[in-house]
């Protein structure tokens, strides 16, 4: 057996993973020696071994839809890019990269675009995730420095989570917090979020703030800190910041934020009296038309209160992606140059000297939303998209798709053969996936870790840095891209960080620039800076000329979206526990589809009543830009006037499941980050004539007017389908065409079908007016182990298994424990705590992400007992 220490490729927690390969079988476990997770993994990380199969992989280069060899694909990319640059100039070309890339890949892409093609047009999906946080830090500290670590979270007295559902989006860090709170019951946790999320499970206080009003809460806190007289004003612009805060009395804040005065006062008291306080924030803050100001409002209160630059304190932006930080370090945003340097004369000259180029871009390039608008207007004529899916993740995705469809040259480097974006590609480069890549990533706390390959490259897939270097050679820049190994790319990147850096630039990993390949291979996780010489780090100094930290004056603004009679609700987008981004990795893992398997729309009971909705109903949600269909979840954790829908679904997994079809491309003026969290929408119940579950061994071509959601099931095709016109004729014709024997049950609106061939189940379809409750595990078992008796087959036709009871909706994905099983353990076996459930069923005993749901089921059962 071989065992490799590597890093999880999902969220910015950056957990260490031990990947073992025995007889070709891969298994994973948390790496006890990695400081980010100390052995823990969440369900996504624990399922990594299930994501590495080659089904659905892009394994060979393609040119205009045809498989070709690498020389042909690279030659075509070079020729077409060169022709566009010759005719329209370098500004007509753009790269759109991803926080999934390794630092070495990112460095190569940035160097090629800014250094040699000569335009600033390289932006990344990290723009959508944390670019407001970058602006916040840069404006306050003069550099993009995250001033906190995970240890700071554990040793704080007050942990404020704002705009962050860490329990689902950063589960291992959340579990560290849970345990820290258990160790120190004096620790307080405050969650600020319009929704009562799973993160609130450990909250001492939840402020269900009105969407988009967070800046008001923190500017008011600054004012209250000032009123105590115990305020530090030794920062640039402190007076101006305090002056702007002056009108933000507790009453005004409560009014602006839709909170009670008592709640606001209590939170302010928590913050002011806590010896140490740390604020964790993420997309709920960043994805806003004033996200940068929100970040600075948070930073300001930490500076003013002295809760900064010491253990357990500080403003801590959590990154969503595994290597968003690495992208920031190399300059993989259109607004940064390289190695944290800017488009300023001294930096431009320095980088040009280091790279030995005369073609260096002199001005910033187009940020993500503007970039795709420019493609739509025909100004950018070639775009190379690396490891990301902008046709799903960018706002106003219909417009993005139109832009890509009209773009003369779309190149895509991808792991997956089919994505919403790659459908527009003229050239497709097969990239390496997790387990095959070799390089480094940086997590939310500035910790650089190695992602190591433990699998061979499949098919003709190649590393992204290699593909970029080959295209650079085609464009005539061979000498500058002559790397033979990612270690060489890393060394160059590290050397640039220290180049002419006498302590003037915060990002400095020059101490790693002379590692031998062996040393680089063995590199232990390490937080930067790692300076070779002079860089004296002090969080209490600023990284701009005057050496000062700055309090940026903030005038709180609301969201751009406004509820109005036609669009009376505000739609919030976010992540669910078991899925990742646009599902290109997690969507095909059955275990990760067990928890939530189709787009949901969470709505408050008052709004559900107002719009005639009930749980499990289908609804159409629409804005002036588009429509999506989702299944309703009525929940009192949702703030009245708001809806919540996951951001993951796309055209590969659903018809009309894409939330970004609805979202407006409104951005923060400083960061260019879209306001993805607030869109004015309306919702209407949709009662299709029938709904059904379709399982088949072979793909079934459905009529285009039907709605469907694809679910991962091992070896099968599983669709939840619904529509207004019946598909019985089509399904019967299909069975006839294959010569399958059919078994049909029909009663009123219920219609079930089983198709058999040589004793094997080939297709199963269960439909009725409401979605039939068919237990997926029973059906899957019937496909691999067909029931033999007539009675058992009749039971299966009814969606039942005579031998085994149904487990219900899966709550614990780690151990596949279903809701029915859990309820039975509570009601019949007397389990009354998550611990007791864990002992009996194992649920909640691995990653712990389902514990809030276990608690909710326990509360539900308790209520039932009280009522009865």
Helix (H) or strand (E) holding 413: strand 409-414
CB under 6 A: which stretch of 170-178, 226-234, 283-291, 332-340 binds ligand SF4? 170-178
CB of 278 to ligand SF4, least distance (A): 18
Q: How far is CA 329 from CA 149, 224, 293, in A?
A: 17, 36, 22
Check residue 171 for interaction with ligand SF4 (CB under 6 A): yes
> In sequence order, which ranges of 305-389 are alpha helices (DSSP H)?
324-330, 345-355, 368-376
Nearer to ligand SF4 among residue 8 and residue 713 (C-beta):
8
CB of 190 to ligand SF4, least distance (A): 22
Check residue 172 for interaction with ligand SF4 (CB under 6 A): yes
SS3 207: strand
C-alpha to C-alpha distance for 44 and 764, rounded to whole angstroms: 29
CB of 128 to ligand SF4, least distance (A): 18
Smallest CA-to-CA distance from 437 within 9, 853, 148, 838 is with 9
Nearer to ligand SF4 among residue 8 and residue 76 (C-beta):
8
Q: How far is CA 856 from CA 208, 635, 831, 860, in A?
A: 19, 12, 13, 6
Nearer to ligand SF4 among residue 44 and residue 428 (C-beta):
44
Nearer to ligand SF4 among residue 42 and residue 494 (C-beta):
42
x-or-dash string of contact with ligand SF4, 122-161, rule CB under 6 A: ----------------------------------------
Nearer to ligand SF4 among residue 6 and residue 286 (C-beta):
6
Site for ligand SF4 in 5-64 (CB under 6 A): 8, 10-11, 13-15, 37, 41-42, 44-45
Nearer to ligand SF4 among residue 442 and residue 767 (C-beta):
442
CB of 437 to ligand SF4, least distance (A): 15
CB of 172 to ligand SF4, least distance (A): 4
Q: Which residues contact 634 (CB under 8 A, 6 or more apart)?
A: 603, 604, 605, 608, 613, 614, 615
x-or-dash string of contact with ligand SF4, 300-339, rule CB under 6 A: ----------------------------------------
CB of 15 to ligand SF4, least distance (A): 3
Q: Which residues contact 709 (CB under 8 A, 6 or more apart)?
A: 597, 598, 599, 649, 653, 654, 655, 657, 719, 720
Nearer to ligand SF4 among residue 44 and residue 437 (C-beta):
44
Specify the residue for token string 């832009």.
403
CB of 44 to ligand SF4, least distance (A): 4
CB of 415 to ligand SF4, least distance (A): 17
C-alpha to C-alpha distance for 852 and 337, rounded to whole angstroms: 43
Q: 233 and 239 in contact (C-beta within 8 Å)?
A: yes
C-alpha to C-alpha distance for 48 and 547, rounded to whole angstroms: 45
Backbone angles phi, psi at 721, to 5 degrees: -130, 150
Q: Which residues contact 235 (CB under 8 A, 6 or more apart)?
A: 303, 548, 549, 550, 551
What is the distance between the terminal CA atoms of the chain, rounded to a whole angstrom?
57
SS3 819: helix
Token output for 222: 């600054």
Half-sphere exposure of 493 (CA within 13 A, CB side): 32
The alpha carbon dihedral of 562, 563, 567, 569 has a sign of: positive
Site for ligand SF4 in 534-563 (CB under 6 A): none
Nearer to ligand SF4 among residue 213 and residue 443 (C-beta):
443
CB of 587 to ligand SF4, least distance (A): 15
- By beta carbon distance, the residue nearest ligand SF4 is 45
Name 317's bridge partners.
Answer: 281
CB of 77 to ligand SF4, least distance (A): 33
C-alpha to C-alpha distance for 461 and 17, rounded to whole angstroms: 23
Token output for 180: 């820290």
Q: 534 and 503 in contact (C-beta within 8 Å)?
A: yes
Q: 3 and 18 in contact (C-beta within 8 Å)?
A: yes
Nearer to ligand SF4 among residue 7 and residue 401 (C-beta):
7
Site for ligand SF4 in 723-742 (CB under 6 A): none
Q: How far is CA 299 from CA 48, 118, 652, in A?
A: 36, 35, 40
CB under 6 A: which stretch of 3-11, 505-513, 627-635, 770-778 binds ligand SF4? 3-11
Burial 682-716 (b: 16+ CB within 10 A, else e): bbeebebebbbbbbbeeebebeeebbbbbbbbeeb
CB of 132 to ligand SF4, least distance (A): 21
CB of 390 to ligand SF4, least distance (A): 22
CB under 6 A: which stretch of 168-176, 330-338, 501-509, 673-681 binds ligand SF4? 168-176
CB of 196 to ligand SF4, least distance (A): 22
C-alpha to C-alpha distance for 383 and 135, rounded to whole angstroms: 25
CB of 328 to ligand SF4, least distance (A): 18
DSSP 448-498: EEEE---SPPPTT-B-HHHHHHHHHHHTT-GGGG--SSHHHHHHHHHHHHH
Residue 205 burial by CB count (10 A; 0-12/13-18/19+): exposed, middle or buried?
Answer: middle
CB of 785 to ligand SF4, least distance (A): 33
Residue 97 burial by CB count (10 A; 0-12/13-18/19+): exposed, middle or buried?
Answer: buried
Nearer to ligand SF4 among residue 573 and residue 579 (C-beta):
579
Nearer to ligand SF4 among residue 102 and residue 489 (C-beta):
102
DSSP summary character for residue 423: G
Binding-site residue total for ligand SF4 (CB under 6 A)? Answer: 14
SS3 160: strand
Check residue 493 for interaction with ligand SF4 (CB under 6 A): no
CB of 173 to ligand SF4, least distance (A): 7
C-alpha to C-alpha distance for 347 and 341, rounded to whole angstroms: 6
CB of 629 to ligand SF4, least distance (A): 28
DSSP summary character for residue 821: H
CB of 563 to ligand SF4, least distance (A): 34
SS3 136: helix
Q: 118 and 335 in contact (C-beta within 8 Å)?
A: no
Q: Which residues bind ligand SF4 (CB under 6 A)?
A: 8, 10-11, 13-15, 37, 41-42, 44-45, 170-172
């Amino acid at each position: 057996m071989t065992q490799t220490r590597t890093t999880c490729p999902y969220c910015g927690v950056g957990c260490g993973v031990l990947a073992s390969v025995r007889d070709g079988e891969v298994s994973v476990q948390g790496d006890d020696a990695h400081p980010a997770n100390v052995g823990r993994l969440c369900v996504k990380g624990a399922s990594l071994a299930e994501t590495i199969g080659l089904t659905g992989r892009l394994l060979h280069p393609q040119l205009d839809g045809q498989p070709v060899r690498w020389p042909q694909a690279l030659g075509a990319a070079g020729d077409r890019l060169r022709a566009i640059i010759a005719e329209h100039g370098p500004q007509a070309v753009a790269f759109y990269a991803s926080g999934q890339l390794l630092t070495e890949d990112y460095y190569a892409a940035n160097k090629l675009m800014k250094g040699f093609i000569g335009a600033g047009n390289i932006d990344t999906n990290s723009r959508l995730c944390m670019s407001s946080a970058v602006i916040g830090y840069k404006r306050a500290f003069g550099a993009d420095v995250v001033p906190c670590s995970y240890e700071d979270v554990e040793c704080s007295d007050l942990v404020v989570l704002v705009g962050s559902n860490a329990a689902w989006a950063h589960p291992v860090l959340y579990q560290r917090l849970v345990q820290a709170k258990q160790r120190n019951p004096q620790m307080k946790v405050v969650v600020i979020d319009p929704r009562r999320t799973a993160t609130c499970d450990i909250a001492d206080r939840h402020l269900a703030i009105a969407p988009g009003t967070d800046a008001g809460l923190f500017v008011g806190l600054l004012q209250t800190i000032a009123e105590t007289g115990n305020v530090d004003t030794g920062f640039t612009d402190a007076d101006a910041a305090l002056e702007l805060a002056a009108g933000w009395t507790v009453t005004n804040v409560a009014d602006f934020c839709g909170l009670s005065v008592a709640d606001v006062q209590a939170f302010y008291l928590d913050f002011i009296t806590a010896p140490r306080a740390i604020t964790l924030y993420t997309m709920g803050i960043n994805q806003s038309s004033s996200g940068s100001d929100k970040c600075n409002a948070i930073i300001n209160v930490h500076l003013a209160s002295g809760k900064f630059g010491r253990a357990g304190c500080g403003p801590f932006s959590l990154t969503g992606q595994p290597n968003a930080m690495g992208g920031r370090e190399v300059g993989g945003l259109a607004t940064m140059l390289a190695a944290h340097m800017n488009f300023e004369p001294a930096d431009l000259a320095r980088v040009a000297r280091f790279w030995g180029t005369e073609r260096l871009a002199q001005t910033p390039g187009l940020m993500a939303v503007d970039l795709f608008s420019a493609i739509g207007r025909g100004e950018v004529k070639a775009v190379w998209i690396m490891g990301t899916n902008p046709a799903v993740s960018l706002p106003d995705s219909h417009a993005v798709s139109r832009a890509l469809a009209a773009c003369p040259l779309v190149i895509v480097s991808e792991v997956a053969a089919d994505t919403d974006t790659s459908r527009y590609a003229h050239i497709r480069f097969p990239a390496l996936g997790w387990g095959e890549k070799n390089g480094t990533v940086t997590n939310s706390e500035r910790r650089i870790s190695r992602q190591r390959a433990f699998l061979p490259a499949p098919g003709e897939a190649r590393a992204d840095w290699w593909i970029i270097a080959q295209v650079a050679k085609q464009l005539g820049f061979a000498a500058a891209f002559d790397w033979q190994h990612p270690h060489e790319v890393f060394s160059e990147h590290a050397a640039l960080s220290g180049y002419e850096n006498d302590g003037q630039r915060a990002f400095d990993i020059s101490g790693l620039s002379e590692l031998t390949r062996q040393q680089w291979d063995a590199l232990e996780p390490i937080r930067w800076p790692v300076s070779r010489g002079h860089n004296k780090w002090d969080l209490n100094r600023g990284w701009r000329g005057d050496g000062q930290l700055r309090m940026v004056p903030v005038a709180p603004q609301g969201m751009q979206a406004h509820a109005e009679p036609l669009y009376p609700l505000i739609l919030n987008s976010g992540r669910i526990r078991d899925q990742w981004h646009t599902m290109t990795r997690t969507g095909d893992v059955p275990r990760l589809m067990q928890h939530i398997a189709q787009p949901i729309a969470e709505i408050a009971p008052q709004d559900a009543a107002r719009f005639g909705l009930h749980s499990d109903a289908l609804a159409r949600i629409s804005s002036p830009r588009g429509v999506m269909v989702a299944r309703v979840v009525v929940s009192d954790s949702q703030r009245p006037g708001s809806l919540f829908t996951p951001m993951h679904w796309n055209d590969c997994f659903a018809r009309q499941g894409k939330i970004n079809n609805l979202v407006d491309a409104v951005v923060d003026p400083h960061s260019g980050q879209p306001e993805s969290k607030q869109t004015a929408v309306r919702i209407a119940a949709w009662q299709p004539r029938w709904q059904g579950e379709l399982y088949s061994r072979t793909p079934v071509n459905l009529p285009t007017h039907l709605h469907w959601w694809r679910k991962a099931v091992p070896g099968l095709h599983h669709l939840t389908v619904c529509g207004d016109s019946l598909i019985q004729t089509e399904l019967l014709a299909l069975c006839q065409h294959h010569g399958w024997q059919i078994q049909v049950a029909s009663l009123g609106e219920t219609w079930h079908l089983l198709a058999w061939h040589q004793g094997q189940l080939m297709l199963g379809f269960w439909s009725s007016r409401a979605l039939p409750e068919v237990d997926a595990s029973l059906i899957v078992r019937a496909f691999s182990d067909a029931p033999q008796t007539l009675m058992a087959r009749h039971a299966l036709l009814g969606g039942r298994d005579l031998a085994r009871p149904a487990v219900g909706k899966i709550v614990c994905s780690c151990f596949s424990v279903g809701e029915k099983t859990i309820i039975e353990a509570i009601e019949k076996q007397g389990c009354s705590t998550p611990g007791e459930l864990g002992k009996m069923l194992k649920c909640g005993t691995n990653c712990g992400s389902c514990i809030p749901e276990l608690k909710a089921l326990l509360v539900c059962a308790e209520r039932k007992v009280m009522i009865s």
